[in-house]
Structure 1
Amino acid sequence: MSSTSTDIDKLIEEEFSRNIGLLSESEQKRMLESRIAVAGAGGVGGLHILTLARLGIGKFNIADNDIFERVNISRQFGANTHTMGQNKAGVLGQMVKDINCHADVRMFHDGINSDNISAFLDGVDIFVDGLDFFAIDIRRLAFRASRERGIIALTSAPLGFGATLEVFSPTGMSFDDYFNISDDMTYLEKMAAFAAGLAPHPYHIRYVDMSKVSLAKRTGPAVSLACTLAASLIASEVVKIITGKDKVYPVPHYLQIDLLRGKFKRGYILMGGRNPLQKLKKWMILKKAQSMNIEDNGQQL
């Protein structure tokens, strides 16, 4: 469903009137006319979608091939007793429509892949990464496709009691260059490089119980407040990009926050993943990952 000028004026006057004062009417109108593609509708992606919908984003492409399970309830805001067994993209799409009945929502119940990535990014202003942390190859596909289409791409990882933010401009450093990832790397090498680039200052390592991280099962501890923080970082960046209210800092700039330790860091990694210090961090993470892989019930990745 596409909103008419009358629909948009009424939405601004009624549903989104409390945004006005922080957003102007013309800025709110641009938000309602913008289309955001969100891959992943779980703990992080689901909150990205709902936060952006309440900010007044009027058009969404939502992709997720997973269903809600009881284990999701602690941190996934689309998960409740009534949505168990339902497709996540479908649930979040309906939640957006419940917030804004004029919203234009396209749902991709099979997730994203090489066959549908063009359709997923069609007409999109910004791509938002809400994919599972361990889904490195499909994430690379999405960022590469966004870059090829001139679409700015955002990722924010909930880590411990904090979150990170990286912005990828289609004319700046690419995803693979920032993380220094290539096709000939093993899965563990890619994940080590990804982790090192996401959190140049791993504040959460001091208190996280690494025995609860399973590389074989591709699971790790996560709390709802970190997902909420990640969604706030993404939504703020979306506002800046769409309205031009403030400067956007693409990679190799990064932002990290840890609420438990009271840490805030806006940094810059010269050369991205090719920086010697980042290479050292990647090597240390890889050695730890290889050790965990051996000890993780003998399961090989």
Structure 2
Amino acid sequence: MSPSSKVRSKFLLFITSLFCLLGISLQTAVASRCVDATATDIRSFTLETFNRNIGLMTPEQLLTLSEKRVAIAGIGGLGGEALRGLVGLGIRKFSNADPDVLDKNNRNKQSLASERTEGRLKVEVASEYILERNPYAEIRSFKEGVREENIDRFLEGVDMVIDGIDVFAMGVRRQIFMKAHEKGIPVLTIAPLGRSVSVMLFRPDGITYDRYFDVNEKTNQNEHLLKFILGMAPGFMHRNHYHEQYLRMSEGIAPSYIGSTQIAAGHVVDIVRGVLLGNSEISSAPTSYQYDFSKMQVQKSHLAMGNRGPIQRLKLVVAREKFRRHFIDLPEEKQEP
């Protein structure tokens, strides 16, 4: 390194440290947080910046949340909007994974998507957004997404996982649930379905993903998707929300609605708060909730046998025929031993 390069590097390091001390973040990949920050700095910043949360929680609870790590698999409509809410909640430790870039068709429901960010990796834009609001954030970004070779690193030190995986990536979703269960980490999955939101919380001491949805490593991708949707929303309250002639599910494109993603993100924030503080009031799987906000109706379902129950099996037969209009490779009903 030349003398001029050394001087330039030292200058950049000095400027970065100065910005950190002033509580200002740099929108670069130099660092994911203010490296010279002390615990006192972080505590003071959290209590001052996010103080409007106090009253709905105690100062101690706010500080507790700031030390929890949340993993978000998929920084799309649900994951990206949930991330924004979690920053406001006081969460500052994130593990974010998504291999995709922001595109024009993301703008209908993803606040991170704009002219300025088009074509950029979602995890990079997400990191910049977090640091703009909290320079003391500690962010781990996985621009390759979640894979078998990095899933342990993705879940390292994580207190809770948010499932924001694309609805068609069922194999990756299953891997995350399995590994999180093995490591004792709760997983929250929320599905924006039409003008409704379906919620399920999987805890380490409860029913597993495979057991509830009745899937395994041999389950066909589309059959897996069908079982996931029917397991998430047994009442199928969203059945009349779609214009079927415009559905493009066979092309890997699902319709999405900003009203659903915004409401889903709000649910994520409060459920994360409750779980991480140990005072969550919602039931975990095999209980599910579906909220049809177009009718202001909520349905709570408890399927002790998951999709293996007789009523669910019957629903699957009916739903399978409906799905054939949009998928060409759904197999006949077949249960693995």
1:154 alignment partner AA: L
Query: Which range is displaced more, 243-252 or 221-230?
Result: 243-252
2:122 to 85, 88, 101: 88
Matches within 5 A, 1:65-144: 65-144=99-178
Q: 1:239 aligns with which of 259, 273, 276?
A: 273
For 2:275, the aligned partner's letter is: I
The reply to whether residue 204 of structure 1 matches residue 238 of structure 2 is yes
Partner of 1:206: helix, strand, or coil? coil
Q: Which of the numbers 79, 82, 85 marks the counterpart of 1:51?
A: 85
**Structure 1 residues without counterparts, runs of 5 or longer:** 296-301
In the TM superposition, what is the alpha-carbon distance from 1:18 to its structure 2 partner?
0.2
In 2, distance between residues paired with 1:291 and 1:161?
21
Distance 2:210 2:244 in 1: 27
Within-5 A mapping of 1:1-301 = 1=33, 4-294=38-328
In structure 2, stretches of 5+ residues that fail to align are 1-32, 330-337
Tell me how large the CA RMSD over aligned residues is. 1.5
Secondary structure of 2:126 counterpart: helix
In 2, the alpha carbon distance for the partners of 1:294 and 1:126 equals: 36
Residue 298 of structure 1: aligned partner: none
Provide the TM-score with structure 1 as the length reference. 0.94
What is the alpha-carbon distance in structure 2 between the residues aligned to residue 179 and residue 4 of structure 1?
Answer: 45
Encode CA deviations 1:121-168: one digit per residue, 9 max, x unaligned: 000000110111111110000100101111011100111112111001
CA distance in 2: counterparts of 1:230 and 1:223, whole angstroms: 11
8 Å contact kept, 1:41–1:130? yes
Q: Deviations over 1:108-131 (max 9, x none)?
A: 111111011000000000011011
Contact in 1 for aligned 2:288/2:301 (Cα 8 Å): yes
Which amino acid in the other structure matches residue 189 of structure 2? T
- Offset of residue 264 of structure 1: 0.9
Q: Relative to structure 1, is the Cα distance of residues 90 and 81 closer, same or farther in structure 2, using a 3 angstrom cutoff?
A: same
Amino acid at match of 1:48: A
Displacement of 1:17: 0.6
**Further displaced range: 260-269 or 66-75:** 260-269
Letter in 1 for 2:254: G
Q: Secondary structure at the match of 1:13?
A: helix
Q: Which amino acid aligns with 1:53?
A: V
- Could you tell which deviates more after superposition, 244-253 or 196-205? 244-253
C-alpha displacement of 1:87: 0.3
Equivalent position amino acid for 1:222 in 2: S
Shift of 1:287: 1.6
Q: Which moved more, 1:216-225 or 1:45-54?
A: 216-225
Higher Cα Rg, which structure: 2
Note if contact 1:188-1:286 (Cα within 8 Å) is conserved in structure 2. no
Deviations 1:175-224 (A, max 9, x none): 11111112222222111111110111111211311223223321121111
TM-score by length of 2: 0.84
Q: Distance in 1 between matches of 2:205 and 2:281?
A: 16
- The aligned length equals 295
Hey, what's the Cα distance between the residues in 1 that align with 2:328 and 2:285?
A: 34
